[in-house]
Structure 1
C-alpha cells in the first residue's frame, strides 16, 4: 500500500509519478473529513467561533476570509445559489457587502450571525431543521477548494486510466456532487456507444443508498449515494 497526499484532479500525474499506466478499480469517497470539520482553527463550522478559513490544503493561500471580503455582491450571490442552493442568496450577499464596508468579516460567528439577520421574521425563530448558515458555508467551502471542478477533472482522468472491465465507484453526499457523477457516467456511456472504441457501462442505474440499519449505526451516512460503472474497451 502506498499513500499519496494529493488532489484527485491531478490523478493522472500522480499515477504517472508512481509509474502506473492503468488501474483495475478506483473509489472516490467525496465526504469531507469529520476530523477537519471538528478542528476549530480550520474554520469550517459555525458551531464554534474561529477564523474563516475552510482550506482543505493549508499550503493554499486563498481562503474563506479572502473570498467573503473581496468577491463582488453578484459573485457572492451566484456562489451561494449555485453551490449552496440558497434561496436567500442575493439578500445574504447584499448584507455581507454592506457590513464588510464597516468592518471586515473574518470569523465564522460574524458570518453566521449576518446570515441569520437576513431571514424573514417568521424564520428567525429557533425552530430550524438545519442551521440557516449551513448552505452558505457549504457554498464557500466548495468555492475555496474548487471541489466540483476537481471532481469533474478527477472523474474524467479516472475513466481514462481504467483498464478493460475496470470499475469506478463514487460515493457522493449532496446533490451537486451526485449530479456531476451521474452526468459524466452517462456522457461516457453515450460516447462509448458512438465511438465504438471504449466507454462505460453503468452498473447502478439508480444510486445505492444506505439501509436504515446503517443510518441508525452511522447517521452521517444518511445522505450518501453510491454509483458504479465499468469500463468497456472495444464497445460493439
Structure 2
C-alpha cells in the first residue's frame, strides 16, 4: 500500500507489448501505470506523477513525440525522465526525440535486459535512493538497500515511514516538499491519510535525527511544507 518503489508510466498502444513491459518492470520491483492512449498519458502524468515514463513514438492520434513535448513543457515534470521507444531507426529521428526533451531513445526491437538497465540508469540520476544507492547529506548517510541510516557514527532507529521520509528528503536536499507531495511520495495515492499525519511523522523523524544533540536539519517553511537543509 506504500509507495516505497519507484513508479513507471508505460505508454504503449500494442497490448501484448504493453503487458510484457509491465510484467518485467513489476518483476524488477517497479510500480507500473499503463495506457495505450497518448492523451490519457498526459492526464496520468498529472495524476500519478510517475518517476519515469516509457513512451512509444507511434501512438494513435497524438504521437509520442508530441506527448513528450507537452510533458517537458510543464515545469513540474521537466526533470521526469522520458525514454522514447520507437521502431524509427533513422539517426534524424533519434536526434529529434532527444531535442524535444527525451532523456533516452531505444529502438525496437529492443533487448528487455538493456531497456531495464536504461530505466535504472535514469532513476539513479533522478531518484538514487529508489535505485539502491547510498545517499549522503552533511553528517547523515542512508543506505537504501539495507534500509539503514546513520548520523555521524550513530545508527538511526527509524520506522518504515520515517525512513521513506528521510530518503525522499535526501534525494533532493533543499527542495521544499508540500504535505500533499509527501503524502503522494511516501504513503501513495491509493490510500487516504490526513495531511496532519505528515506533521506527526516529521516530528518523529526530527526526534530521532536530533537524539544526540545535533542541529536540526529539517526546515519548516510556513505555508509551504518541509525541506532538508
Query: Would the TM-score normalized by the shorter structure come out above 0.5?
Result: no
Structure with greater proportional strand content: 2
TM-score bin, normalised by smaller chain:
under 0.3
* TM-score, normalised relative to structure 2: 0.24
* TM-score, normalised relative to structure 1: 0.24
Q: Which of the two has higher C-alpha Rg?
A: 1
Structure with greater proportional helix content: 1
